[in-house]
Amino acid sequence: MDEKLAEICRRYDELMASMSDPGVFDVPGRYQKIAKEVGSLEPLVKAWRRLQKEREQLEEARSMLGDPELGELARESLPELQEATEASLKEVRLLLLPKDPNDQKNVILEIRAGTGGEEASLFAADLFRMYARYAERKGWKLELLDESRSESGGYKEVIAMVSGAAIYSTLKFEVGVHRVQRVPVTESQGRIHTSACTVAVLPEAEEVELDIPEKDLRIDRFCASGPGGQCVNTTYSAIRITHIPTGIVVQCQDEKSQHKNKAKAMSVLRARILDMMEAEKHAERADQRRVMVGSGDRSERIRTYNFPQNRLTDHRIGLTLYRLNEVIDGDLDPVLEPARAWFQAELLKEEEANFG
C-alpha cells in the first residue's frame, strides 16, 4: 500500500507543478483536465500525508516512554495518537477503494406500486414526494418524465430525472422494495395494512456512451392524457419508444413539445439499455438489478415504514429510527449516510487483502 500511495503522491505533486506552468494554457482544455485529476487525488493525498505525520508522532511518543521526565506525558498522549492514526488509516483505505464510475452521474428514478392495490399507489406517491423534497434540500433538479396515476390519486408508476452533483453515489443504495405498514384512508375498521413499492435508481447514460441506431427504434406518437389543458388530449405530443432488439418500452408525455418528450424518453431508454448491458457483463450487477426491481411482494424488502409507531427500519444494516415523519418529509440523510457507511465497510472487508 505504501508504494502505491507514494506513487499517487508523486503524481499529485507533478500535476500541481504543471498547473503553475504558463504553457499549460497552450492546449485547450488541458488545465481543466489537470485540475479535475488533482481534485480527485487531493483527498487521498491529504489523508495519507496526515497519516504519515500521525505515525511519526506515535513512534516519537513510544520512544519517550522510558524517559524519566517525558515518559508520563508520552503515556498520556498515546491513546489519542493511536485513535487518530487508526481513524486516518481507515480513511485512507476507504479512499483507496475502487471508485464506481457512475457515482457522479445524474439518475433516472423509477417508483412502481407493488403489492397492496390502491394503498401501494398512494405510498408510491409518498415516496416520490419524499425524494422530491430531499432533492430540493440538496439543491438538485427533479424533472418528471412519465407517470401513471391510480384511481385514488397515487402512482401506479412514476419516473423522473434527478440532476445535480454526485447523485448516483447518494441514491444508489435506495434500490429495492420499500414496505409500508399503516391504516389506509379507505380502511373503516382501523386495521393496519402492509403494502410495497419498488424503487430503481439508474445512472444516466450519455449519447457518447451508448449509440442507439434509429433502425432499432419504433416510435409511436399519441395524445397526452391528463386532467386537461392546452396540448392535453388534443395534440400528438406524447412519445412512446420501443427498442426492438430488447423489447424495452419507454414513454414520456410530460412536455407540451413532442421533441422534448422524445429527448426525455431517449434518456430513460439509454439508462435502461446501459444497465441491461452492464448486468449481462457482470454477474453481480445482474444480481443487484434483480434485487433492485424485485416483484413488489411484501416479503422482499430493504426498508419498512411503520406509520403507527413513527418507525423506519432498514433491514440490510439493522438501522431503526423513530423519526419517520421527518424522513418521509425529505430528511433522508440520517437514513442514507448509515447505509452508505455500511456498504463501504463491507467493500472494505472484501478489499482487505490488498492492504499491507
122 and 68, same domain (yes or no): no
Please write the tens of the pLDDT for every residue from 107-132. Answer: 999 999 998 989 999 999 999 999 99
Structural domain contains residue 122: yes
251 and 318, same domain (yes or no): no
Q: In what order do the strands lie in the sheet containing 217-222? A: 217-222, 238-243, 248-252
168 and 299, same domain (yes or no): yes
Percent of the chain with pLDDT over 70: 88
pLDDT score of 253? 81
196 and 268, same domain (yes or no): no
242 and 314, same domain (yes or no): no
Q: How many CB atoms lie within 10 A of CB 149?
A: 16
Cβ(74)–Cβ(67) under 8 Å? yes
78 and 118, same domain (yes or no): no
β-bridge pairing 303-306 and 176-182: parallel
CA distances from 39 to 25, 44, 114 (A): 18, 10, 42
Q: How many domains does the chain have?
A: 3
pLDDT score of 345? 83
Last residue of a domain, one of 64, 96, 128: 96
217: nearest Cα among 262, 277, 253, 165? 262
pLDDT score of 207? 62
pLDDT score of 118? 92
245 and 219, same domain (yes or no): yes
pLDDT score of 282? 62
Last residue of a domain, one of 66, 96, 126: 96
232 and 256, same domain (yes or no): yes
The whole domain housing 170 covers 107-205+295-346
201 and 223, same domain (yes or no): no
pLDDT score of 187? 74
pLDDT score of 132? 97
| pLDDT mean by block of 10 residues, the chain; 356 residues | 86 91 86 87 93 93 87 90 92 83 90 93 97 96 92 93 92 94 82 94 77 87 61 66 91 80 87 80 52 48 95 95 97 95 82 56
pLDDT score of 294? 47
pLDDT score of 209? 63
74 and 111, same domain (yes or no): no
